């Protein structure tokens, strides 16, 4: 059996190989009309992939500011502004205490729908406290060099000592409600409880108040902020471009990664039902995939791709992709493009699995209609995906 030290060395060697390969490809696959771009042929479009900036410590979330600059979080605990030309600002001041361990740290970031008036930035993070840590959400006012008037509006209960499965995507709906996706913190059986926030999606007003039309407001034992439950670890979320309802992407265990249409009161089954299995093999619970009263995913992956961030594409730069769901993957180092017929997946295209050479944490559509990818590395990058010039 391989020793822990050798396993650690081998893992680091693979990471360095992937990083070297990705750097080589981005530098070497140049095209005379596209500068230093990696040219990638896909089923519908020819893409030019360039590096906007690098040197980010495991970037996790990205939000575009009105002037085209990018607000980026790094899992290690820093938030900074990156200009359109790739210039990185200094870490912003004013953030609260953040526990950066394992999968936790500074996580997603989004802007208030009225950002241009109130300058509010919302962010999710691992909050230390009595009993361990939990996912929390706060907002602050963005000014020169930092955030002021930082106010915490949510803290997952209970706090736990485990350092995995934090969830943490933030999505505002068209009415200004904030959805917060939460992981099971590896306390998987608690994801079937409505008495805590383990493995749930939460819905709040922008100031943390509970909407009066939340599904469990008048329930005797359920927490009134809960929207849905039975989730494992949601790291992708977006509003459907036509229905404007919440869709989420959820990490499965070994296999069974999911895409779900995430509706109020519904139970998404974890850990009672899953299309995955234990790491290393073996059934989870009774080893069943269906049970009455529990939702089936719209799409799932076996084997696992380790899906992370996701976005519905609505721009003009890639017209053949409009309405498609784009999903990044960590383990498989790819971008999945899902084409839907209603809510059924009619086709999947997998891109970048043998070219970029890095775990892909998130995908965001920019105001220019181009795509921006975050690579989950110590030397993390923002990559821009544009149509290749003729």
Tokens at 196, concatenated = 């805590």
Q: Rounded to the nearest 5°, which phi and psi values hold at 18? A: -65, -45
- Separation of alpha carbons 1 and 8, rounded Å: 13
Strand partners, 228: 201
- Exposed (0-12), middle (13-18) or buried (19+): which is 212, by Cβ within 10 Å? exposed
Q: Rounded to the nearest 5°, which phi and psi values hold at 7? A: -60, -40
The reply to whether 165 belongs to the active site is yes
- Separation of alpha carbons 126 and 193, rounded Å: 22
Closest C-alpha among 264, 330, 323, 267 to residue 297 = 267
- Separation of alpha carbons 309 and 326, rounded Å: 8
Instruction: Point out the catalytic residue in the list 58, 165, 197, 299.
Output: 165
Q: Rounded to the nearest 5°, which phi and psi values hold at 351? A: -120, 150
The helix or strand, by DSSP H or E, that contains position 13, with its residue range, turns out to be: helix 4-28
Tokens at 48, concatenated = 């030019």
Tokens at 361, concatenated = 């944490």
Kindly tell me the number of DSSP H helices and DSSP E strands found in the chain: 2, 24
Using left for φ > 0, alpha for ψ between -120 and 50, and beta otherwise, residue 273 falls in: beta
* Residue that is written with structure tokens 């930082």 in the block: 150
- Separation of alpha carbons 36 and 23, rounded Å: 11
Active site amino acids: 165
């Amino acid at each position: 059996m391989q020793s822990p030290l050798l396993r650690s060395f081998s893992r680091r060697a693979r990471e360095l190989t992937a990083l070297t390969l990705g750097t080589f490809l981005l530098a070497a696959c140049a095209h005379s009309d596209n500068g230093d771009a990696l040219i990638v042929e896909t089923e519908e479009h020819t893409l030019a992939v360039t590096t906007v900036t690098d040197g980010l410590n495991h970037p996790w979330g990205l939000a575009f500011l009105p002037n085209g600059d990018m607000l980026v979080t790094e899992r290690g605990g820093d938030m900074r502004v990156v200009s359109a030309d790739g210039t990185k600002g200094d870490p912003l001041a004013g953030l609260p205490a953040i526990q950066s361990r394992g999968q936790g740290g500074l996580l997603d970031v989004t802007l208030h729908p009225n950002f241009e008036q109130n300058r509010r930035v919302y962010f999710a993070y691992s909050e230390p406290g009595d009993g361990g840590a939990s996912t929390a959400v706060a907002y602050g006012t963005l000014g020169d060099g930092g955030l002021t008037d930082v106010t915490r509006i949510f803290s997952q209960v209970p706090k736990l000592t485990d350092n995995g499965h934090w969830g943490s995507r933030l999505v505002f709906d068209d009415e200004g409600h904030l959805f917060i996706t939460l992981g099971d913190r590896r306390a998987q059986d608690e994801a079937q409880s409505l008495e805590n926030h383990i493995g749930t999606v939460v819905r709040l007003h922008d100031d943390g108040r509970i909407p009066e039309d939340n599904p469990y407001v008048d329930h005797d034992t359920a927490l009134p902020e809960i929207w849905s439950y039975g989730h494992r670890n949601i790291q992708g979320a977006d509003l459907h471009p036509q229905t404007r309802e919440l869709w989420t992407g959820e990490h499965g265990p070994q296999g069974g990664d999911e895409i779900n249409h995430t509706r109020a009161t519904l139970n998404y089954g974890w850990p009672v039902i899953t299309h995955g299995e234990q790491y290393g093999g073996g059934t989870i619970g009774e080893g069943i995939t269906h049970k009455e009263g529990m939702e089936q995913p719209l799409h799932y992956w076996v084997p696992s791709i380790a899906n992370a961030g996701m976005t519905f594409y609505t721009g003009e730069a890639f017209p053949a992709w409009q309405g498609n769901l784009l999903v990044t993957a960590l383990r498989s180092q790819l971008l999945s493009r899902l084409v839907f017929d209603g809510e059924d997946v009619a086709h999947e295209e997998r891109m970048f699995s043998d070219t970029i050479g890095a775990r892909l944490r998130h995908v965001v559509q920019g105001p220019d209609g181009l795509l921006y990818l975050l690579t989950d590395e110590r030397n993390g990058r923002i990559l821009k995906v544009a149509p290749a010039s003729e």
